[in-house]
Structure 1
């Protein structure tokens, strides 16, 4: 098996989310601090694996894809009402298997969030591998999943006078990954 270790380039990658707000709009956001590695088998992606760790306190909410820098709202997301980052500082994902689904993949793994670990299946696309302008090997992936926040104990649910909740139950997660192949010390010295 031709497996190789790749580091996720977080400067060229993103983990974004969106959730309904007051039924009529969506709030978008992202995580600013995170890291991850991929063990990539370029010949058979189903023999690859992924591990990601996210600093929960790095959550940032955005409206219409721009950071509104509303400190109170971001603080609320970090509070015990939502992520409770003081008690649960890290969100993590570790793949268990990758299944081929036509020209796409299903990435099955354990997501640990808010003290709860559950198996999730992400729909993933592999864009390919190529060299960047500095000669480093890069690989590109994207993935999507919809989570029910209540499954992770995120149950803050004030009801509006029209009978709907303030924050939607379904959270869409969109991930864009660019990974850089690790170079062994022997290869780097050559």
Structure 2
């Protein structure tokens, strides 16, 4: 990967041997591996058994989980926040595990629509919840720095599973609580 970054630097007309760029291929390779560390993780490892018995069957919401991902089309970042809700059925997930699940899928080459679905399906699989809702709001640098160059656009995507899809009142409660 380091060699590839060196070739990219040369291809844009720069000298990878000049002072400021001498270690850039190594740093860029290390950064790219970190930004895509989700490929080295599994759902079981991330959750690590953090499911706890609970009599609660009311909505659990985690709002404003920041996320950083790379657009699979241009390898440019998209940055935003994720809101997750689920309806427990006897077990609740450790709070930090929701953020870790978001990170695991965000740290892969992605499009936002797929990321939203992957998070929702993972929460459903792990918890056996009666319903799961995920909303992501993100700014895409591929749209801000190149192409149409729109600085203030924000993409929102949502996935509703189970009771959130079937029951409009449950969906509306969730959407009102994340506003």
**Fold match by TM threshold 0.5:** no
TM-score (norm 2): 0.29
TM-score (norm 1): 0.28
Higher relative contact order (CA 8 A, sep 6+): 1
